[in-house]
């Protein structure tokens, strides 16, 4: 046993109550947990949980108030299987959403790097001759369809909930209710693309608002020129249709941050802050909102400690959120934590192998001075998505950093053509290079941008003009330019 694992076990034992409470019914807050029937009720409403999510809840509730190490919880829920920790994190995320956990109303507390503690007040009823099993098996008389338990008919069984008016549920009717709930969850998960059971109901009850949001999100993730203004229109329409739609506010904040990088108008950041705070107020467990908040803290406030906490919270809420993993990767890279950054961006690509995520890995490799690997990644994106024109710019920059002038010129000309440059302008540049050498290319690069960036500063430095280089850096600091910190 490792020292770390031994320490966690010792910490658990020091809290007392090592044995789980052997009861059939547990009541906490508005909920009743019936282990023998494998059911969770909110009041008298049955709540559908997949088997392993239910098992996680049982394991924690039976040990309410005690710190349960991640290893112990995984061994208890998956005793005969090897699973990734992300599966456990995902189940905890689902439980928090189902229970309605907020910052002010906790059910499951995270103890960083160690485990979890169920902190709600729990009342239990110990059955006569109760089973010693921590996670009882389903009733063998139950038929199972997927993860939905179908209970016997009223002729053979009834479901009696103590302390809740002794309500008796007809078995057949109960099965129909469960199937209806399951169908809503599965349908919403498919349409929202947010994973199974992010909540028991969609974030919005407005179908039109949902459609507007999905269209805006598609444009944001595609990232073609001109997509952001259109995306903003969709997000604002979604908010107009449903003023309590957290993800639509997060989408608006996303667009406003990216818009600022091109406009340098601080009003854009002000609007982004307002929108992301509104999103978090509506839904503190919205990983999209937490991700955009992390981006603002990183790229505008330069508060890296707070940014990392927010990024990690987003990832903990939803480990499969590729945007959260990507944002964390960029933050870690800016802090010089290269291997952690590569691991995070690889998780983003595994969750969503998009051109933008792959190009993002190229950027991280570039900023880590791993230029050959960066070029290989950029060329892969370029070969599969030629419409993603920003890749050309980064290929040019990577070859420039390698000192390959011929390749730099090749991609610079391609960039000029993509920007609408005519053949005369391109031929003049070639003639200038033939006459004055590669210095002519550098000089052309310094004047070919509306907003001067770190690359213009570096080019001026290579030309020996330190004063101009520092002037560019000063301009970037004033407008909070993103590349100054990445």
Phi, psi of 110 (to 5 degrees): -95, 130
Please check whether residue 414 is in contact with residue 399, taking contact to mean a CB–CB distance below 8 angstroms.
no
Domain regions of the chain by residue span: 3-147
Looking at per-residue pLDDT, the higher value among 446 and 230 belongs to 230
Per-residue pLDDT at 83: 75
Residue 162 has pLDDT above 60, yes or no: no
**Burial of residue 230, with CB atoms counted within 10 A of its CB: 0-12 exposed, 13-18 middle, 19 or more buried:** middle
Q: What percent of the chain has pLDDT over 90?
A: 38
Considering the domain 3-147 in this protein, what is its CATH number? 1.10.10.10
Mean residue pLDDT across the chain: 78
pLDDT digits (tens, 9 = 90+) for 315-361: 999 999 999 999 999 999 988 899 999 999 999 999 988 888 999 99
Written as six digits, the tokens of 198 are 């992010």
Q: What confidence category does residue 393 fall into, taking pLDDT thresholds of 50, 70 and 90? A: confident
Least confident of 12-21, 31-40, 212-221, 242-251: 12-21
Per-residue pLDDT at 134: 44
Per-residue pLDDT at 477: 62
Per-residue pLDDT at 399: 92
pLDDT digits (tens, 9 = 90+) for 114-161: 899 999 999 886 544 444 344 444 443 433 333 333 333 333 333 344
Task: Give whole-number Cα distances, 484 to 30, 42, 401, 453, in Å.
Answer: 50, 50, 17, 8
Q: What confidence category does residue 381 fall into, taking pLDDT thresholds of 50, 70 and 90? A: confident
Please check whether residue 357 is in contact with residue 377, taking contact to mean a CB–CB distance below 8 angstroms.
no
Residue 432 has pLDDT above 50, yes or no: yes
Please check whether residue 15 is in contact with residue 67, taking contact to mean a CB–CB distance below 8 angstroms.
yes
Residue 408 has pLDDT above 60, yes or no: yes
Residue 14 has pLDDT above 60, yes or no: no
Per-residue pLDDT at 484: 53
pLDDT (mean) for 55-74: 92
Per-residue pLDDT at 112: 84
Per-residue pLDDT at 341: 94
User: Where is mean pLDDT largest: 93-107, 175-189, 456-470?
Assistant: 93-107
Written as six digits, the tokens of 412 are 């610079």
Residue 67 has pLDDT above 80, yes or no: yes
Please check whether residue 139 is in contact with residue 159, taking contact to mean a CB–CB distance below 8 angstroms.
no
Per-residue pLDDT at 263: 84
Q: What percent of the chain has pLDDT over 70?
A: 72
Q: What confidence category does residue 287 fall into, taking pLDDT thresholds of 50, 70 and 90? A: very high
Per-residue pLDDT at 141: 41
pLDDT (mean) for 98-119: 90
């Amino acid at each position: 046993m490792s020292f770390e694992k031994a320490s966690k076990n010792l910490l658990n034992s020091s809290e007392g109550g090592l044995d789980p409470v052997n009861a059939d019914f547990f009541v906490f807050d508005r909920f009743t947990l019936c282990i023998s029937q494998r059911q969770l009720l909110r009041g008298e409403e049955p709540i559908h949980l997949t088997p392993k999510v239910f098992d996680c809840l049982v394991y924690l509730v039976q040990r309410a108030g005690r710190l349960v190490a991640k290893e112990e919880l995984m061994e208890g829920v998956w005793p005969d299987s090897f699973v990734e920790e992300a599966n456990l994190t995902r189940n905890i995320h689902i439980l928090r959403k189902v229970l309605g956990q907020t910052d002010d109303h906790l059910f499951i507390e995270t103890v960083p790097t160690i485990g979890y503690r169920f902190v709600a007040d729990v009342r239990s009823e110990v059955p006569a001759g109760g089973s010693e099993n921590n996670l009882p098996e389903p009733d063998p008389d139950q038929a199972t369809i997927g993860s939905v338990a179908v209970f016997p008919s009223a002729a053979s069984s009834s479901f009696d909930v103590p302390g809740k008016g002794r309500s008796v549920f007809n078995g057949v009717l109960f099965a129909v209710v469960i199937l209806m709930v399951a169908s809503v969850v599965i349908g919403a998960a498919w349409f929202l693309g947010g994973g199974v059971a992010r909540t028991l109901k969609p974030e919005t009850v407005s179908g039109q608002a949902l459609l507007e949001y999905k269209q805006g999100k598609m444009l944001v993730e595609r990232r073609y020129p001109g997509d952001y203004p259109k995306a903003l229109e969709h997000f604002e329409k979604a908010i107009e249709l449903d003023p309590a739609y957290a993800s639509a506010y997060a989408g608006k904040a996303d667009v406003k941050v990216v818009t600022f990088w091109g406009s340098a108008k601080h009003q854009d950041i002000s609007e982004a802050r307002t929108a992301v705070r509104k999103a978090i107020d509506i839904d503190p467990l919205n990983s999209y909102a937490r991700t955009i908040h992390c981006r603002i803290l990183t790229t505008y406030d330069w508060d890296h400690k707070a940014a990392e906490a927010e990024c990690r919270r987003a990832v903990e809420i939803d480990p499969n959120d590729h945007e959260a993993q990507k944002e964390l990767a960029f933050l870690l890279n800016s802090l010089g934590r290269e291997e952690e950054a590569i691991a995070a961006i690889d998780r983003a690509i595994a969750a969503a192998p998009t051109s933008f995520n792959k190009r993002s890995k190229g950027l991280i490799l570039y900023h880590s001075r791993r230029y050959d690997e960066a070029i290989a990644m950029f060329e892969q994106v370029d070969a599969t998505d030629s419409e993603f024109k920003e890749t050309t710019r980064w290929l040019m920059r990577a070859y420039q950093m390698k000192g390959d002038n011929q390749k730099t010129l090749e991609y610079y000309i391609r960039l000029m053509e993509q920007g609408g440059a005519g053949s005369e302008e391109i031929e003049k540049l070639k003639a200038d290079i033939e006459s004055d050498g590669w210095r002519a290319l550098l000089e052309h690069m310094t004047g070919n941008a509306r907003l001067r960036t770190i690359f213009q500063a570096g080019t001026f430095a290579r030309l020996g003009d330190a004063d101009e280089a520092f002037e560019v850096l000063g301009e970037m600091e004033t407008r909070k330019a993103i590349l100054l910190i990445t």
